[in-house]
């Protein structure tokens, strides 16, 4: 790398990919705050409008591993630009008055925004000087979390002023800006890309993830014990088993499971699932508590705008938590920092269980959770990249992202199930339900912390020497064992 190239990268590449990653958070904010408005504007039921959330989530979980594998080496920039183009098209379909069908297609395309984050990590690792990589990884994590936290109140405000079409319109404008920035500042790569894509593995992993996510997200509408829910859940588990069998035998697997169980990577993957569970129990219970009126049970009876604004301090404390994680990481291993973040999630859930009769108490719990989010999801990518070969960065982080999606979806569904189980007759919520929800989130977060400490202690080693990028004539997955 030449001195001129280094100067260009230091000056433009990191700010550019930080802007690009904000698209992920903004697209995520187009779901929950707009469901009621979509139902009203498009003339569909709330149950139907919920598919505007489900479609994006399922698409993200399906495409992230594929894009992570495709976007390696010299294919990285085209993969990033392709994702951004499709996100622009998807947000435009949501902004135009074409009906619910095209809007749903647009939400499917918007799921590709979530594949941008692993590509951004891969670009930072490949294009920035080594001494700047850790700070860049932390900055990307924070930018994503901050965009999501700020996106909710901004989306709610734009929707209030300009309607749901206006909210999709501003997201489209941001996606176009991100596309232009990516065209200008993201460099081409001269790295070799792994030959071919494991399409059979992609079908198995995508089918399994889609089935499980559909079962979890639609369990309330279909019934937790209904044949469609149980059938999809069982089919998804079987498909995961078949996928694991295939990935361990494929010459060039979509996701190298041998990398996924390395020290550091295994800790991050296990924590990604469990921490996301605890985090989304906290956020889901908090948002429902704030918006539920007394006629529907126990709640604070505030507007969706107030609920969205509560995520602003969450975003701010996520940034502060990430800075604390960077400082703490100088003295303790990353897996210990990860465990500390999970403990903060536990404290936040416990605070919600004990204090939920005033808005400031709920906000305090969310603020504590923000510190936990910054420490946890800041540490996770850096913990992984220390043990992952450069050519596997996008793929490994994509699998971690899939596990987080599963945790988020399951955590949201678990929160709803606990609240429904404790609800008074004919009501949606009760005070005991919110107590039980907070305690469940605290237990899951404590489990995540213990898992980090146990796996970190039993598997802690020095980072392995990064492997060379596999070339068409290089060793197969089996030969690398």
Domain assignments of the chain as residue spans, ordered by start: 1-191, 198-253, 259-461
Give the pLDDT score at 3: 46
Q: Which two tokens stand for residue 473?
A: 């004539």
Tell me if 286 sits within 8 A of 352, measured CB to CB: yes
**2.40.110.10, 1.20.1250.20, 2.40.50.140, 3.90.280.10: which CATH number matches 259-461?**
1.20.1250.20
How confident is the model over 71-105, as pLDDT tens digits?
777 778 888 899 999 999 999 999 999 999 999 99
Would you say the CATH fold of 259-461 matches that of 1-191? yes
- Gyration radius of the chain over CA positions: 21
Give the pLDDT score at 467: 41
Give the pLDDT score at 149: 65
In 3D space, the residue among 174, 158, 153, 125 whose CA is nearest the CA of residue 21 turns out to be: 174
Give the pLDDT score at 429: 82
Q: Is the pLDDT of residue 224 over 80?
A: no
Q: What is the DSSP letter of 287?
A: H
Considering only residues 294 and 461, tell me which one the structure prediction assigns the higher pLDDT.
Answer: 294
Q: Is the pLDDT of residue 443 over 80?
A: yes
What are the residues whose beta carbons fall under 8 Å from the beta carbon of 220, sequence distance 6 or more? Answer: 413, 416, 417, 420
Q: Which two tokens stand for residue 78?
A: 């085209």
Tell me if 169 sits within 8 A of 30, measured CB to CB: no
- The alpha carbon torsion through 318, 323, 324, 328 (nearest 10 deg) reads 140
Identify the CATH homologous superfamily for domain 1-191: MFS general substrate transporter like domains (1.20.1250.20)
Per-residue CA distances from 139 to 22, 145, 462 (Å): 11, 10, 24
How confident is the model over 212-221, as pLDDT tens digits?
878 877 777 7
Range from 37-46, 253-262, 297-306, 356-365 that averages highest in pLDDT? 356-365
Q: Is the pLDDT of residue 367 over 90?
A: yes
For residue 12, name the pLDDT band (cuts at 50, 70, 90).
confident
Tell me if 122 sits within 8 A of 64, measured CB to CB: no
Q: What is the DSSP letter of 288?
A: H
For residue 407, name the pLDDT band (cuts at 50, 70, 90).
confident
Q: Which two tokens stand for residue 355?
A: 């204090």
- Nearest-angstrom CA–CA distance, 33 and 160: 10
Which of 18-22, 128-132, 234-238, 241-245 shows the lowest mean pLDDT across its residues?
128-132
- Nearest-angstrom CA–CA distance, 401 and 116: 11
Give the pLDDT score at 439: 95
The Cβ of residue 265 has, within 10 Å, a number of other Cβ atoms equal to 26
- Nearest-angstrom CA–CA distance, 259 and 459: 14
Per-residue CA distances from 133 to 54, 125, 459 (Å): 34, 6, 24
Average of per-residue pLDDT values in the chain: 80
């Amino acid at each position: 790398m030449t001195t001129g190239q280094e100067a260009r990268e230091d000056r433009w590449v990191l700010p550019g990919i930080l802007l690009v990653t904000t698209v992920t958070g903004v697209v995520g904010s187009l779901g929950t705050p707009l469901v009621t408005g979509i139902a009203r504007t498009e003339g569909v039921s709330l149950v139907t409008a919920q598919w505007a959330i489900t479609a994006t989530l399922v698409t993200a979980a399906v495409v992230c591993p594929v894009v992570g594998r495709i976007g390696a080496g010299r294919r990285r920039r085209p993969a990033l630009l392709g994702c951004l183009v499709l996100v622009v098209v998807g947000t435009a379909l949501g902004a135009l008055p074409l009906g619910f069908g095209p809007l749903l297609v647009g939400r499917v395309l918007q799921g590709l925004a979530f594949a941008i984050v692993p590509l951004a990590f891969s670009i930072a690792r490949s294009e920035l000087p080594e001494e700047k990589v850790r700070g860049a990884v932390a900055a990307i994590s924070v930018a994503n979390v901050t965009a999501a936290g700020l996106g909710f109140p901004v989306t709610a405000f734009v929707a209030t002023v300009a309607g749901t079409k206006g909210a999709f319109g501003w997201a489209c404008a941001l996606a176009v800006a991100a596309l232009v920035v990516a065209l200008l500042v993201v460099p081409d790569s001269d790295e070799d890309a792994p030959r071919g894509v494991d399409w059979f593995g992609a079908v198995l992993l995508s089918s399994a993830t889609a089935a499980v996510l559909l079962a979890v997200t639609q369990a309330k509408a279909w019934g937790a014990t209904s044949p469609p829910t149980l059938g999809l859940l069982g089919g998804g588990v079987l498909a995961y088993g078949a996928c694991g069998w295939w990935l361990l035998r494929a010459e060039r697997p979509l996701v190298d499971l041998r990398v996924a169980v390395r020290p550091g990577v295994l800790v991050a993957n296990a924590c990604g699932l469990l921490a996301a569970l605890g985090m989304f129990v906290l956020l889901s219970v908090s948002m429902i508590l704030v918006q539920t009126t007394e006629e529907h049970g126990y709640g604070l009876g505030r507007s969706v705008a107030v609920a969205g604004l509560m995520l602003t301090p969450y975003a701010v404390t996520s940034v502060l938590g990430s800075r604390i994680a960077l400082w703490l990481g100088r003295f303790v291993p990353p897996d210990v920092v990860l465990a500390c973040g999970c403990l903060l999630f536990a404290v936040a859930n416990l605070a919600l269980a004990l204090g939920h009769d005033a808005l400031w108490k709920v906000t305090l719990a969310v603020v504590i959770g923000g510190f936990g989010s910054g420490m946890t999801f800041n540490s996770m990518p850096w913990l992984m990249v220390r043990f992952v070969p450069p050519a596997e960065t996008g793929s490994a982080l994509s699998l971690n992202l899939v596990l987080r999606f599963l945790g988020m979806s399951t955590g949201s569904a678990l929160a709803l199930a606990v609240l429904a189980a404790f609800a008074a007759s004919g009501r949606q919520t009760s005070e005991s339900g919110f107590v039980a929800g907070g305690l469940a989130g605290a237990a899951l977060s404590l489990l995540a912390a213990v898992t980090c400490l146990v796996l970190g202690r039993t598997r802690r080693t020095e980072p392995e020497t990064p492997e060379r990028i596999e070339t068409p004539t290089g060793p197969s997955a089996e030969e690398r064992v």
